[in-house]
Structure 1
Amino acid sequence: MSWDDFAKHAKDAADWGAAYHKTIRDRPVRAQTAPGEIAAQLADGPPEDGTDLGTLMQDFEDIVMPGITHWQHPRFFAYFSSNAAPASVLAEFLASIIAPQCMLWQTSPAATEMETRMMDWLRQGLGLSAVFQGVIQDSASSATLAAVLTMRERALAWSGNQEGLAGQAALRIYCSDQVHSSIDRAIWIAGIGQDNLVKIPTKGPMKAMDPDALQAAITADRAAGHRPAGIIAATGATGMGACDDMQAVAAIARAEDLYTHLDAAWAGTAMICPEFRTLWDGAEQFDSIVFNPHKWLGAQFDCAAHFLRDPDQLRQTLAIRPEYLKTHAQGDIIDYSEWSVPLGRRFRALKLWFLMRHYGMDGLRTRIRNHVKWSVALCERLRAVPGFEIVTDPILSLWTFKQVGASDDQTQMLVDAINDDGRIYLTQTLVDGVKVIRFTAGQFDCEERDFDTAFDTITEIAARA
């Protein structure tokens, strides 16, 4: 393909993209294909001869699109949104065209220096103090892994990378029973082991980690000869939005000299609105904080904002400097590959620059406030319908419900029927061991009318069940 051909096909793709988003409400939110249906249309082996772009685009329409769940659909109320605001898409397009590998300052100074500044813009937007410095990770999972590795190295006096874990006292890390499965994976990858992830019971409407149980677990582990290493707290946890008491967790961590990490992957975005910051009161005292701008702020996946009170501890954990990776330059520079598990790094800061400049922080705050307001209003409408119960009240735009007296199987049947209908997309979760239906809002371009459609869909399908 020549670059002249590229220009033509890129314009065609942009036109297709605009038409797709303008008509996306006409599509079912979740893919309606059966397992294996897409694979059956793909050749068993790679082609020997090339194919023209016109044919490829038609195949894209015919084969790929029927099997796509539309994460940018305004009635995507499942999981947490993975947004792609138009300004962010344009920035990703430009970054893909120039295709820099941004592992070191010298491999693209603009990428490094923009990342530093964009993370500081986000820090200011969240109301965090200037003591925090930031790095863009690919996902909250990677940031959590980096935090767990730092906990490990710090607890072992920075000897773990060299000596391994064999013969050491068991390292113990603490979290609530509401945390995301990425915490478990981080424990596995770090070599600490599932048995050494101590999940603390929760209490209260926010299902916060019980501070007394946390302290008791740490005390018991020390008495047993184990080595406590860190605490992972959550605000806006995935299941029903659980929020830990950051002040209480931070106080215990200080007393026990433990490293702290806050997983605010979804809810952290809402902290750009000052009125929501009570949900992470005390976050300033944590060593590590992560949230995903790709979940609710509008940045295209992947983009996780990782803030650190002392980046040197992370660099001491991850930095490795063979001669070919050394930057010989005057002045202070940052090589962000020393702050991340992968060596290679994409130019993720560009989409944050486009996003925050184009919409402004006020515009982004307005969107989040609307999502919360509309979601809470829908919850109250459904609460007033006989036969429904709200199981957990809204935490920001996330809440759960079920039909009164419904068994787990009946609840799943209702979820499946709603999703097969296609107008909206929901998921299920467990609250106190009972299956419930989970509703969360956050798609960048959703409108109040989409919540009206959600109410109509839920109540109509429930009435037919």
Structure 2
Amino acid sequence: MDWDEFAEWGTKISQWAAEYHKTLAERPVRAQTRPGDIASQLPKAPPDAPEGMARILDDFERIAMPGITHWQHPRFFAYFPANAAPPSMLAEFLVTTIAAQCMLWQTSPAATEIEGVMIDWLRQALDLPDAFTGVIQDSASSATLSAVLTMRERATGFTGNREGLNAKGNLRIYCSDQVHSSIDRACWVAGIGQDNLVKLPTRGAHYAMDAQALEAAIAADRAAGHVPAGIIAVTGATGIGACDDLEPVADIAEREGLYTHLDAAWAGAAMICPEYHARFWPGVAGFESIVFNPHKWMGAQFDCSVQFLRNPQAQLNTLKIEPEYLKTSGSPVTNYSEWTIPLGRRFRALKLWFLIRAYGLDGLRARIRNHVAWAEEICDAIRAMDGFEIVSEPILSLFSFRCPGDDARQQRLVDALNDDGRIYLTQGLHEGRKVIRFQVGQFDTTRDHVMMAADVIAEVNSTLA
């Protein structure tokens, strides 16, 4: 393909993209294919001869598109959103075109310097103290793993990377029983082990970690000869939106000398709205590491996760490795690859620059406020349905409910709704019972899209025996 052909096909694909988004509401939200349907249509071996782009795109439409679940669909109420606002998509076009590997300042100074400024813009938007800096990660999982590794190294006097974990004792990390499974996986990968992740009970309307239980667990571990290493709190957990009381957790960590990480991957975006601070944000300044995902509720094209660090030196001491071929001569500069696990880095900051400028913080705040209001409204509509139960009240834009019947019937309703195609929901487990999650957060959803879901739920439920 030459560059004239590239321009021709690039124009056609842009036109296809615009039409796709304009007609997206007409498609079923979740892919309606069965396992193996897509793979069975692909050749068993790669082609030896080149094929034309027209044929390739025809096959994309015919084979791939039926197997796509439409995350940008306005009636996507499952999981948490992975939004893609148009300006961030255009930024990704440019990033893909430039195709820079931005591992060091010298490999693309603009990528490094724009990243630093975007981190500070977001720090201001979330009202974090001036001392916080940070880095863009691919996902919250990577940020959490980086924090857990830092907890491990700090607790071992920064000797674990060099000496291994033999004879270091049982390193213990504390969290609530509401945390995302990425916390478990981080403990696996860091060599700390599942048995040393201490999950504590929750209490109150926001399902916050029990501070007294936390203190007791740390004291018991010290008495048993274990090595407390860190505490992971959560604001807006995946299951039902659980939010820890950050102030007491940070106070305990300071008294005990433990490193802290806050997982605010979804709900952190809502903290650009000052009115939510009093309920969810007091004490946040006491945390060493905080992660939130602009690629969720804020609208940045996936992937784009921001990790704020109160003092980056501990994470640099954990992750920085500098062979001769990666050294930068001359004036001191920031090399963000030393702050993260991967060496290679994409120019993720560009989509934040485009997104924030194109909408302004006020435009982004308006969307989040609407989603919260509409979640409360549809929650009340479902509450009014005969035999339905609201299990967890809305925390920001997430709540859970049950239809009449046992756990098996909850799953039958979820499956029937998703097979119907008009909306997309997922199930969860809370206090030993299966629940149905409902989360409002797709970037371009409207009140009509949200409220339509109540009618669909009632209609589909009426068809189940």
Length-normalised TM-score, structure 2: 0.99
The residue aligned with 2:373 is: 373
Q: Distance in 2 between matches of 1:39 and 1:247?
A: 51
1:275 paired with 2:307, answer no
Cα distance in 2 between the residues matched to 1:178 and 1:30: 27
Deviations 1:279-332, CA, capped at 9 Å, x for gaps: 1221111000000000010000000010000001110100001111011122x3
Partner of 2:19: helix, strand, or coil? helix
Distance between the aligned counterparts of 1:150 and 1:255, measured in 2?
19
Which residue in 2 is equivalent to 1:386?
386
Q: For this pair of structures, how many residues does the alignment match?
A: 463
Q: Which residue of 1 aligns with 2:230?
A: 230
2:250 is matched with: 250
Rounded Cα–Cα distance in structure 2 between residues aligned with 1:285 and 1:167 = 31
CA RMSD of aligned residues (A): 0.7
Letter in 2 for 1:446: T
Shift of 1:93: 0.5
* Structure 1 equivalent of residue 448 of structure 2: 449
1:384 Cα shift? 1.6
Question: C-alpha distance in 1, partners of 2:335/2:137?
Answer: 13
Helix, strand or coil at the partner of 2:195: helix
Mean CA deviation greater in 344-353 or 200-209: 200-209
Tell me how far apart the structure 2 counterparts of residues 109 and 186 of structure 1 sit (CA, whole Å): 31
User: Is 2:95 aligned against 1:95?
Assistant: yes
Query: Quick check: 1:232–1:260 contact (8 Å CA) kept in 2?
Result: yes
Aligned residue for 1:402?
402
Indicate the SS of the match to 1:375: helix
Q: Given that residues 423 and 453 in structure 1 are in contact (C-alpha distance below 8 angstroms), is that contact kept between their aligned partners in structure 2?
A: no
Distance, in Å, in 2 between the alignment partners of 1:461 and 1:31 is 18
What SS does structure 2 have at the residue aligned with 1:461? Answer: helix
How far 1:188 sits from its partner (Å)? 0.6
Within 5 A, what are the aligned runs for 1:268-417? 268-277=268-277, 278-330=279-331, 332-404=332-404, 406-417=405-416
What is the CA-CA distance between 1:376 and the residue it aligns to? 0.8
Instruction: Report the equivalent of 2:36.
Output: 36
Per-residue Cα deviation, 1:48-100 (whole angstroms, up to 9, x for no partner): 11110000000000000000000000000000000000000000000000011
* Comparing 202-211 and 235-244, the one that deviates more: 202-211
Match of 1:163 in 2: 163
More displaced stretch, 343-352 vs 202-211:
202-211
- Normalized against structure 1, the TM-score is what? 0.99
What percentage of residue pairs aligned between the two structures are identical?
Answer: 64
Shift of 1:205: 2.1
Match of 1:423 in 2: 422
Question: 3-state DSSP class of the match of 1:76?
Answer: coil
Tell me, what secondary structure is at the counterpart of 1:71? coil
Structure 2: how far apart are the matches of 1:168 and 1:129? 34
The question of whether the paired residues in 1 share the 8 Å contact of 2:372 and 2:396 is answered with yes
Which residue does the alignment assign to 1:116? 116
What SS does the aligned partner of 1:191 have?
coil
2:191 maps to: 191
- How far apart in 1 are the matches of 2:462 and 2:24? 27
Q: Which amino acid aligns with 1:432?
A: E
Is 1:263–2:273 an aligned residue pair?
A: no
Deviations 1:432-459 (A, max 9, x none): 0100100001111101110121111011
What amino acid is aligned across from residue 431 of structure 1 in structure 2? H
Consecutive aligned runs of 4 or more in structure 1 exceeding 6 Å deviation? none
Cα distance in 2 for residues equivalent to 1:226 and 1:254:
18
Distance (whole Å) between structure 2 residues aligned to residue 301 and residue 380 of structure 1: 32
Unpaired segments ≥5 residues, structure 2: none
SS at match of 2:16: helix
Distance 1:416 1:275 in 2: 37
